Amino acid sequence: MSKRAIVIGAGIGGLATSVRLAHKGYTVEVFETNPYPGGKLSAFEDQGYRFDAGPSLFTMPHFVDALFELVGENPRDHFNYKKKEIACQYFWPDSTRLTAYGDPEKFAAEVETKLQVPQDRLKKYLKRAQRKYDRTAPLFLEKSLHKKSTLLSADTLKALANLHRYDLLSSLHRTNQKQLKEPHLVQFFDRFATYNGSDPYQTSGMMTLVQHLEQAYGTFIPEGGMVQITEAVYQLAKRMGVQFNFNSAVQAIRTEGNRATGVQTATAFFPADLVISNMDIFPTYKRLLPELKAPEHILKQERSSSAVIFYWGVERNFPELDLHNILFSEDYKQEFQQIFKERNIAEDPTVYINISSKDVPEDAPEGGENWFVMINTPADHGQDWDELVTQLRTRVLAKVEQILGVSVASFIRTETVLTPPLIQEKTQSYLGALYGASSNNAMAAFLRHPNFSRQLKNLYFCGGSVHPGGGIPLCLLSAKITADLIP
């Protein structure tokens, strides 16, 4: 008789973990509060417009493919995507525009033409970022950072030998400023701090390795939109025999001695040999394990940024925009000061616009576009979000009109708004933080919660609030790390 594993939460990390455990021979059951899988990686429709509700950037698709290959399936039979020729369109208030091409040579030429930055300078910067990734990925991203076997490995010794090359004690902004110099390009690469909800003026220069991933692997769009990642992995899990319980909130993880014995829902107790929490680490301890001593030094870490997202059904086409678009603020430092220090929305926010109908035409009626408009905000610390959303909407529309020269408000036919409190309500993300703890610390990688419990021998953790971090690729890596820890 196979051992029984229970996964709490059907986010992408939980889904991937369920596949890997089923492949190992476990009988796997997943409990999910919502009536659908995917967590943040879900979708909805409104009057003929389809919107991906959460993460809109897809990089490193081989991590998704790996799940199918693991169980002997051809990924292309179940999940397909294409690489974008244009990764993102960038717009500045001074009318500077930059097309980030997926082809590195074409992008370097674009930077030289538009920003007068020699191609060699950019290539040297990206090569240095690649070296950081190559030297540290085996340690920081692919294994449990909290096991002695990892810390005493050859990979660790190699990483430590090159510590002076990682810009750990310099902020990402200072690193970019020193190596790139040109202000637009510095702001361009500072933006990558937001990929894990951090502040480029605080997070370590080590984080230049993040931009290497997008530049080296490219940006992709799944057929049918981002939600197809969830759907493909969910269907794979079901084919592997994983049982799903939706509308089934776990109320407690039951324990006996130094082991978890199962989970309690509103209706019954479900015993298990293993429990894996894909829920945010904060509510996992505070709500599900209130009698267990919590790692307060981890739970008290600064939260990552959150977001306000406007989902607009727009009755017009904008040929100057692509799938991903960034409209930068004029004073980036002030923007992050207001988000992280003042816990307020920015007076001049950077605006991200995702339009999946550019590549998935059926996502919007003919002649229209589905705008996913995201603005970085602080996590929810009791701010008046109704008032802030009203202010933010005015500022966003003004920013779009300033840069694109069009008053978009008159073309908006549908509107849905997501705020930090709603993010917490829908996904259990503590304070609505999108990535758990921020990385505004040189030692942030070492401070995230491990993928296993130090107190309960059969309790494990996966997802964006634990090692190695948030975002689709890291959540998938988290699932692998967690599954590899389980015999």
Mean pLDDT score, 439-466: 89
| The pair of three-digit structure tokens given for residue 116, joined into one six-digit string | 């007068």
- CA 389 to the chain's CA centroid: 22
> Quick one: what percent of the chain has pLDDT higher than 90?
85
Rounded Cα distance between 317 and 292, Å, is: 54
At 414 the pLDDT is: 98
Least confident range of 142-151, 270-279, 430-439: 142-151
State the CATH class of domain 4-35+246-297+437-485.
Answer: alpha beta
The pLDDT tens digits of the residues spanning 354-364 come to 999 999 999 99
Under 8 Å between Cβ of 357 and 323: no
Rounded Cα distance between 39 and 386, Å, is: 24
At 216 the pLDDT is: 82
At 164 the pLDDT is: 53
- Each residue of 105-125: b (16+ CB within 10 Å) or e? eebbebbeeebebebebbeeb
Under 8 Å between Cβ of 359 and 322: no
At 134 the pLDDT is: 81
The pLDDT tens digits of the residues spanning 252-305 come to 999 999 999 999 999 999 999 999 999 999 999 999 999 999 999 999 999 999
At 169 the pLDDT is: 73
Instruction: Report how far apart, in Å, the C-alpha atoms of 160 and of each of 1, 46, 138 are.
Output: 45, 52, 13
Half-sphere exposure of 102 (CA within 13 A, CB side): 15
- Looking at the predicted structure, is the pLDDT value of residue 22 above 90? yes
Q: Which residue has the higher pLDDT, 459 or 141?
A: 459
At 75 the pLDDT is: 98
- Each residue of 180-198: b (16+ CB within 10 Å) or e? bebebbbbbbbbbbbbbbb
Among 464, 145, 171, residue whose Cα is nearest residue 305: 464
3-state secondary structure 247-301: CCCEEEEEEECCEEEEEEECCCEEECCEEEECCCHHHHHHHHCCCCCCCHHHHCC
Residues of the chain with CATH 3.50.50.60: 4-35+246-297+437-485
The pLDDT tens digits of the residues spanning 221-247 come to 999 999 999 999 999 999 999 999 999
Mean pLDDT score, 119-135: 90
- Under the banding of pLDDT at 50, 70 and 90, the label for residue 93 is very high
The pLDDT tens digits of the residues spanning 150-188 come to 555 565 556 555 555 667 778 999 999 999 999 999 999
Under 8 Å between Cβ of 352 and 323: no
At 383 the pLDDT is: 98
- Under the banding of pLDDT at 50, 70 and 90, the label for residue 83 is very high
